[in-house]
Amino acid sequence: MNSFIYDIPTKVYFGEGQLGNLGKELRRFGRRVLLTYGGGSIKRIGLYDRVMEELRSADLEVFELSGIEPNPRIDSVREGVKMCKEHNIDVLLAVGGGSTIDATKFMAAGACVEHDAWEFFGANAKPIERALPIVTILTLAATGSEMDSGGVISNLATGDKLGRLAPAMQPKVSFLDPTLTYSVSRYQTACGAADIMSHIIEVYFNMNKDLYMLDCMMEGLLKTVVKFAPIAANEPENYEARANLMWCSSWAINGFINGGKRKAWSCHPMEHELSAKYDITHGLGLAILTPRWMRYCLDETNVERYVSFGVGVFGIDPSKAPMTIAEEAIERLEHLFFVELGLQRTFAEVGIKREDYELMAAKACRYGDIRGFKTLTPDDVVRIFEMCE
């Protein structure tokens, strides 16, 4: 069992009616705020006006950067860095989903250095030692960016989508109000659920001897998503469903379930290449890949992990043969993603072409073979892509 450090320094305001604390929390860091958001959903749901009212009543000076795209671009980050420097920003307030929060993290880090923000990424990445403080208001349950120290940025010029972790970018405060996700579409709700589940599955599928308690936690989080994602998709204003998904999104990736595991993730590096090349939604790519990857990795030596998963998450009868349980568990996951949540099932349906497999596989393995649950070479990645056709 691994030793580990547990340190999650994000203060969370969870539930409806917490935004009244926003001004007070921002004032802890200064007066000059850079408000960042995406393509306008926060205006459509009336959140923008509520936030501005809070900021005004706390006598904060507000600068705005809007238009952060899904799969956020380095150009938006650069624009934010420039604004932070020009206006001597004290604190950044990200209002939106993972894309807005991720981009804001690198604006906050970029504001503290002289070099270009893209130099934070890649094999010779520059260190991220400091960042301006970040506060978030989450509007989509998916990535967990509201409570982790990572982010993923796309560069259209190089065709890359690269991630980076740095404790300095961990949000200081996050507001998690489930009612702000009532307006999230059925499609984005489904993609978010697939993303949350993938963050847990990437950790759960591991042959290390881990704390039993963490296995139970992961199964509990997964069961919660299995139960509430279809409810949220069908009844968008079901508070209980939205609240459960929102809190699962944070706990799936805030470091707690890791318990010191150092195994690489598998589906995420593959998916980031799909998003980089085709600009598809991250959670959709994961939904297509994850069951296929599970099937590709399954063998007699690791089947017990699938059995725990099938019994613990889907309640499959443990007296069945292990291989039967494993296959049934994968089918139940596919049923959730593709039938109950209605996500597309194949690369063909989302327009991903055979001719790009080799290049995407090579890029997924840019730092070497993927040393996750099972080591994957570029050839393995191509085989998994073929299973998604």
Q: Which residues bind ligand NZQ (CB under 6 A)?
A: 38-42, 45, 70-71, 96-100, 102, 139-140, 142-145, 148, 150-152, 180-181, 183-184, 188, 192, 195, 253, 268, 275, 282-283
Select the span of 47-55, 145-153, 194-202, 287-295 touching Zn ion (CB under 5 A). Answer: 194-202
User: Please, what is the minimum distance in Å from the beta carbon of residue 71 to ligand NZQ?
Assistant: 5
User: Please, what is the minimum distance in Å from the beta carbon of residue 372 to ligand NZQ?
Assistant: 14
User: Please, what is the minimum distance in Å from the beta carbon of residue 198 to Zn ion?
Assistant: 6
- Return the number of the residue (33 or 47) whose C-beta is nearest ligand NZQ: 47
Q: What share of the chain is helix, strand, coil (3-state, %, to 5)?
A: 55, 10, 35
Q: Which residues contact 318 (CB under 8 A, 6 or more apart)?
A: 307, 311, 325
Would you put residue 66 in left (φ > 0), alpha (ψ -120 to 50) or beta?
beta
* Class of residue 220 by CB neighbours under 10 A (exposed 0-12, middle 13-18, buried 19+): middle
- Return the number of the residue (192 or 291) whose C-beta is nearest ligand NZQ: 192
User: Please, what is the minimum distance in Å from the beta carbon of residue 168 to ligand NZQ?
Assistant: 14
- Return the number of the residue (97 or 291) whose C-beta is nearest ligand NZQ: 97
- Return the number of the residue (91 or 289) whose C-beta is nearest Zn ion: 289
Neighbours of 179 (CB within 10 A): 15
**Pick from ligand NZQ, Zn ion, none: which does 323 bind, CB < 5 to 8 A by kind?**
none
User: Amino acid letter at 333?
Assistant: L
Binding flag, residue 195, Zn ion (CB under 5 A): yes
Q: How far apart are CA 168 and CA 176, in angstroms?
A: 21
User: Please, what is the minimum distance in Å from the beta carbon of residue 270 to ligand NZQ?
Assistant: 12
User: Please, what is the minimum distance in Å from the beta carbon of residue 143 to ligand NZQ?
Assistant: 4
**Pick from ligand NZQ, Zn ion, none: which does 100 bind, CB < 5 to 8 A by kind?**
ligand NZQ
Which parts of 22-149 are beta strand (E)? 32-37, 61-65, 91-96, 134-138
Binding flag, residue 273, Zn ion (CB under 5 A): no
Angle at which helices 303-314 and 186-204 cross, to 10°: 140
What Rg, from alpha-carbon coordinates, does the chain have?
A: 20
Going by DSSP bridges, is the β-strand pair 173-176/160-165 parallel, antiparallel, or unpaired?
A: unpaired
- Return the number of the residue (90 or 195) whose C-beta is nearest Zn ion: 195
User: Please, what is the minimum distance in Å from the beta carbon of residue 300 to ligand NZQ?
Assistant: 31
- Which two structure tokens, joined as six digits, stand for 181? 């996700």
Cα angle: 179, vertex 182, 188; to 5 degrees = 130
**Pick from ligand NZQ, Zn ion, none: which does 341 bind, CB < 5 to 8 A by kind?**
none
- Residues at the contact surface with Zn ion, assessed by CB under 5 A: 195
